Structure 1
Amino acid sequence: MRPAWEQDFTQYVGARIPRLHRIARQLLGDSDRADDAVQNALTVLYQRWPRMREVQHLDAYVHTMVVRACLGDRRRWWARVQLWAAPPDTAAVADDPLVEQRMVVRAALRSLPEGQRTVLVLRYLCDLPVAEVARLLGRSEGTVKSQTSNGLRALRRALGQGDLTGVTSGGVG
């Protein structure tokens, strides 16, 4: 790869890696596995970078790569091994008043079945339309709609409330 392309790649990835990691962490429920999935996707992107000038919607393309890396991670047998009953607590920012709310929502999301959790993260955290989520996951739009509805119902039950207003990308991230 030419040095100018490497610089373009570094700038592109540097600007987008926090969002990509956040999406992967929500899909996988684990920061370390999210790091691995993002790194795997970016390794493939690096190998393809000289051809990426031809891609019209590069951000959507990279987003799809990360989602597929997350889905692939969940299919691996070793990804199902869990050495502790609950993930260790992560350090919270003391000045953030929504930390407790985010922790509760994350725990509720982890309690959902994998398909519902994935659809909710893609629909509400990533703000993707139904058609795009269906395309990403290889499911019908009707399946995405029903999983969204069932997931929201289960999330409301888990949170003990009927209204999820404000629990979107700002409340989950």
Structure 2
Amino acid sequence: MKTSTEAEFRAFMVSRWPRMLRTAHLLTGHHQDAEDLVQAALAKAYVKWERVRRTDDPDAYVWRIMINTNADRLRRMKVREWLTTRFPEPAAPDRNEAFAERSALLDALARLPAKQRAVVVLRYLEDRSESEVARLLGTGVGTVRSHTARALKKLREQVVTSEAATPGADRGTRGGQRP
């Protein structure tokens, strides 16, 4: 590539890195995997940079590369093990409720299939519209809606299951009654 093209790609990469890393972390659940995912996506974008920069929306092109790279990474995993930083013993109640909620969210996201996880992350955590998500994933708006519906149903089922597993947990309600 020419020097000006390299400088253009470098500027693109530097300006998008934090947001891509946050999205990748939500997709993978681990900071190191997220960094690897963003680096792999940007490496693929660099190789195709002439094509990427000529598209109507280079951001969407690169985000789609990242999402597809993550889906490929998950497909290649032959051993279905969940690496975790937590011990298998039941967790003691955490005094930092925000951390516990974030951890529960990441665990719930990790249980979703790759496409459903991508839709939830892009729609609700990246605050993108259905049409933006459809464009990023290369699917129709109807597909985004169906993935969203299925993902939210699974997430709700997980919440019900986790509440049933913790008797006496009222999740901020008074006297065990819903507001």
TM-score by length of 1: 0.70
- What residue in structure 1 maps to residue 85 of structure 2? 87
Percent of aligned pairs sharing the same letter: 31
Q: Which amino acid aligns with 1:25?
A: H
Q: 1:148 to 1:109 in 2, by over 3 A?
A: closer
Aligned-partner Cα distance in 2 for 1:21–1:126:
12
Moved beyond 6 Å, runs of 4+:
none
- What residue in structure 2 maps to residue 122 of structure 1? 122
Aligned-partner Cα distance in 2 for 1:43–1:109:
26
Name structure 2 gaps, 5 residues minimum. Answer: 88-96, 164-169, 173-179
- What residue in structure 1 maps to residue 62 of structure 2? 62
Q: 1:31 to 1:142 in 2, by over 3 A?
A: same
User: Aligned pairs, how many?
Assistant: 155
Of 142-151 and 1-10, the range deviating more from structure 2: 142-151
Equivalent pair of 1:120/1:151 in contact (CA under 8 Å): no
Pairing 1:143–2:141 present: no
User: Aligned ranges for residues 156-171 of structure 1 at < 5 Å?
Assistant: 156-157=159-160, 160=163
TM-score by length of 2: 0.68
Q: 1:36 to 1:158 in 2, by over 3 A?
A: farther
Aligned-partner Cα distance in 2 for 1:31–1:5:
30
- For residues 120-167 of structure 1, give each alpha carbon's deviation from its aligned partner in whole angstroms, at most 9, with x where no partner exists: 21211122333444551747245224224314423543674889xxxx
Q: Which amino acid aligns with 1:87?
A: T
Equivalent pair of 2:123/2:133 in contact (CA under 8 Å): yes
- For residues 3-27 of structure 1, give each alpha carbon's deviation from its aligned partner in whole angstroms, at most 9, with x where no partner exists: 1211111111011111111111111
- For residues 93-126 of structure 1, give each alpha carbon's deviation from its aligned partner in whole angstroms, at most 9, with x where no partner exists: xxxx954542332233334455543332121112
- What residue in structure 2 maps to residue 53 of structure 1? 53
User: Aligned ranges for residues 24-39 of structure 1 at < 5 Å?
Assistant: 24-39=24-39
Name structure 1 gaps, 5 residues minimum. Answer: 90-96, 164-173
